[in-house]
Amino acid sequence: MTTKKKIQKIVIVGGGTSGWMAAAALSNQFKDKAVDIRLIESSKMGAIGVGEATIPTLRRFYSKLGFSDLDVLTATNGTCKLGIEFKGWKGDNSSFIHPFGLFGQAVNNIPFHHYFTKLQQSGDTTPFSEYSLGVNLAKNNKFSLPPTKPKNQLEIFDWALHFDANLFGNLMRDYSKGNGVKVTDSKIVHVDLSLKDDSIETLHLDNGEKVTGDLYIDCSGFSAYLIQKVMDTGFEDWSDYLVCDTAVAVQSELVGDPIARTVSQAQKAGWQWQIPLQSRMGNGIVYSSKFIKEDEAISVMLSNIDGKIIQEPRSFSFTPGRRKKAWNKNCVAVGLSSGFLEPLESTSLAVVETAIEKIANFIANKEYGQEEADKFNYAMGCEYERVRDFIILHYKLNGRKDSPMWQHCRDLDIPDTLAAKMAAFKKDGSLIKSPWDIFGNDSWLAMYDGLGFKPTSYNSSIDKFSNAFLTEQLIKMRNGIKMTVDTNQTHTDFLKQYCGYKG
C-alpha cells in the first residue's frame, strides 16, 4: 500500500458495542462529507452483550458525540463508578479501592507519596487511602459530579459508568442511523481477496448481496472474521503471563441500592465481579481452567450472589493477547477481534474507543496508506501491552494462599517493561510513565499500596521538611477530604435526582 487509498465507502462488520461505537464516531466525523458508512451485523449470531463497567475515557467518547453524562446514565440504567474495590486480593478479608482520582497533594512540586512514605517510615500508620477523595466517596457510597474548577488537587477525582451494554449499543445505533449509517442484517459467508495484494475485495452476504468498501472495520468479536479467519493476520498469545482463560457471566436482582464502585472479589482460582446497575446486578467469574473446573467455579460464584438469579450463566473461553497487526491492508480490527484482556480493570471498551479515535484521526482527510496503518499498529500494540502489564501486576503482587494458582501467579516471569516499573518504584518510589499507558501514576500507586508493595526509600529532597511540618500538612489533607465526603450527597440520591432511578 504505497499510494494513499481514497475513502468513499467504509464497511463496518459487526453490531456489538464496538461496531456501533465505530459507526457513531465515524458518522459524526464524516457528516456531510460524502463518505458512505455501512454496518453489517447478524442478528442470528448476536452480539456478546457483556461489558458493563467502563473507565472515565468512555465519557469523553460520548461527549464528543453530544451526549451528556446524565443522558447516558438515564438511557442505559447506568450507575456511577468511582473505582474498583479489590476484595481478598492481598489475602482473605483484605480490601482496597483503586479510584479514578488522585492521592494527596504535592508539596513543593514533589509528589505526595514521597511524603507519605517518609512519615510511614517514621512510624505513622494512617492508610494511604485516607488521602483520596475518590476512595472515600466510593467507600461511603457518596456521589456528585466533580467540581469543574477544583480549588486544589484534593478535590480532583474522576468517574466512569456501569451500564447495560445492550442499551448503550442501542444508543450508539440510533445515533448512527440518525447520521445516515446504513444497516444490513445478514451474515457474511464468504470474502474475495484481491489477487494483486490479498486485501479485501468483496464481502458475500447470506442474503445474496455483495458488498465492497474502501476501508473495512472488523468488529466481528471473538470470531475475528475478517482480520483473522479471512486475512490470517496472527495473534500474540499472552497466556504465559495471564493464566485466566474462562469467564462466566450471570445477572441477578439488585439487593439494596446500587453502589458507586465495581467489586472484584478474589476467589479460589480467579476472581468474581459485581457491577451494579439501576435495574439489576451484573455478576461473573473469571478463572483459570487449569486450576478449577467450570462446575466448581460457577458454584463458587453463585454462592457469592445475594439476589435472585435472573438469567442462565453464560460461559466464554478466551486467550489473552492481541492481534499482531490490528490494521492489515484495508482492514482494521476494533474490539474483541483485535484482542482481549480479562475485564479486571474494565479496559476493553477503553481500548475500543482509543482505536476508533486513532482511526478517525488517521483517515480525517478521507484517505490512508501504509504509514497510517503502521502508526496505528504501533500505538495499539503499546496500549495493549501497557494494559497487560497493569493487569499482570494485580496477580504478581497477590497475597492469597487458598489455591496453587495464586502462588503460580506470584512465581511467573513478568514482562521487562513491568519489571522495570516495579524496580524503580521499589528503589525510591519513582514512577515510570510509559507512552500510551491508559493508567496514570495514581492508579499504579493505588495497586502498589493496596497489594502491600512499598518503596524502600523516597525522594530525599523532602528531608528538608520536618516530620512535624509534614504531619500537619497531611492532617489538613485528611480533614479536607473528610469534610467534602461528609457534606456530599449519596449516590442513591444522585441517581434519583438526575437519572430516573426509582429505588
Which of 48, 110, 379, 431 contacts ligand FAD by CB under 6 A?
48
Minimum distance between the CB of residue 125 and ligand FAD, rounded to whole angstroms? Answer: 35
Cell of 77: 440504567
Which of 7, 10, 12, 15 contacts ligand FAD by CB under 6 A?
15
Determine how β-strand 331-333 pairs with β-strand 215-218.
Answer: parallel
Which of 7, 11, 26, 50 contacts ligand FAD by CB under 6 A?
50
* 233 phi, psi to nearest 5 deg: -75, -30
Nearer to ligand FAD, 115 or 291 (CB): 291
Nearer to ligand FAD, 119 or 183 (CB): 183
Q: Would you count residue 227 as binding ligand FAD (CB under 6 A)?
A: no
What distance in Å separates the CA atoms of residue 203 and residue 212, rounded to the nearest whole number? 6
- Sequence-distant (≥ 6) Cβ neighbours of residue 127 within 8 angstroms: none
Return the residues of window 152-171 that contact ligand FAD according to CB under 6 A.
165
Q: Could you give the C-alpha distances from 188 to 40, 335, 349, in angstroms and in order?
A: 8, 18, 24
Other CB atoms within 10 Å distance of the CB of residue 163: 28
Return the residues of window 228-257 that contact ligand FAD according to CB under 6 A.
247, 249
Run of H or E including 354: helix 348-362
Nearer to ligand FAD, 333 or 470 (CB): 333
Determine how β-strand 314-317 pairs with β-strand 270-276.
Answer: unpaired
CB under 6 A: which stretch of 50-58, 294-302, 391-399, 476-484 binds ligand FAD? 50-58
Q: How many residues bind ligand FAD (CB under 6 A)?
A: 38
CA atoms within 13 A of residue 120's CA, in its CB half-sphere: 16
Helices 441-450 and 370-396, axial angle in degrees (round to 10): 20
CB under 6 A: which stretch of 65-73, 90-98, 125-133, 344-352 binds ligand FAD? 344-352
Q: Would you count residue 41 as binding ligand FAD (CB under 6 A)?
A: yes
Which of 30, 62, 116, 225 contacts ligand FAD by CB under 6 A?
225
Nearer to ligand FAD, 95 or 223 (CB): 223
Cell of 310: 435472573
Q: Would you count residue 38 as binding ligand FAD (CB under 6 A)?
A: no
Which of 219, 250, 332, 495 contacts ligand FAD by CB under 6 A?
219
Which of 27, 233, 252, 346 contacts ligand FAD by CB under 6 A?
346
Q: Could you give the C-alpha distances from 326 to 333, 371, 380, 450, in angstroms and in order?
A: 5, 14, 8, 34
Are the C-beta atoms of 358 and 376 separated by less than 8 Å? yes
Return the residues of window 265-304 that contact ligand FAD according to CB under 6 A.
284
Chain centre distance of CA 209: 36
Minimum distance between the CB of residue 108 and ligand FAD, rounded to whole angstroms? Answer: 38
Nearer to ligand FAD, 230 or 495 (CB): 230
Which of 25, 80, 154, 188 contacts ligand FAD by CB under 6 A?
188
Nearer to ligand FAD, 300 or 349 (CB): 349
Are the C-beta atoms of 281 and 211 separated by less than 8 Å? no
CB under 6 A: which stretch of 46-54, 305-313, 367-375, 386-394 binds ligand FAD? 46-54
What distance in Å separates the CA atoms of residue 141 and residue 258, rounded to the nearest whole number? 9
Minimum distance between the CB of residue 169 and ligand FAD, rounded to whole angstroms? Answer: 8
Minimum distance between the CB of residue 301 and ligand FAD, rounded to whole angstroms? Answer: 12
Q: Would you count residue 221 as binding ligand FAD (CB under 6 A)?
A: yes
Q: Would you count residue 56 as binding ligand FAD (CB under 6 A)?
A: no
What distance in Å separates the CA atoms of residue 1 and residue 330, rounded to the nearest whole number? 9
What distance in Å separates the CA atoms of residue 471 and residue 286, rounded to the nearest whole number? 42
Q: Would you count residue 332 as binding ligand FAD (CB under 6 A)?
A: no
Are the C-beta atoms of 25 and 64 separated by less than 8 Å? yes
Q: Would you count residue 204 as binding ligand FAD (CB under 6 A)?
A: no
Sign for the pseudo-dihedral over CA of 377, 379, 383, 385: positive
CB under 6 A: which stretch of 12-20, 232-240, 388-396, 423-431 binds ligand FAD? 12-20
Q: Would you count residue 187 as binding ligand FAD (CB under 6 A)?
A: yes
Nearer to ligand FAD, 128 or 216 (CB): 216
Q: Which residue in 37, 16, 17 sits closest to 211, CA to CA?
A: 37
Q: Would you count residue 77 as binding ligand FAD (CB under 6 A)?
A: no
> 352-380 burial, b for 16+ CB within 10 Å, e for fewer?
bbbbbebbbebbeebebeeebbeebbebb
Q: Would you count residue 348 as binding ligand FAD (CB under 6 A)?
A: yes
Chain residues in the site for ligand FAD (CB under 6 A) = 13-19, 40-42, 45-48, 50-54, 165, 187-188, 219-221, 223, 225, 247, 249, 284, 316, 335-336, 343, 346, 348-349, 352
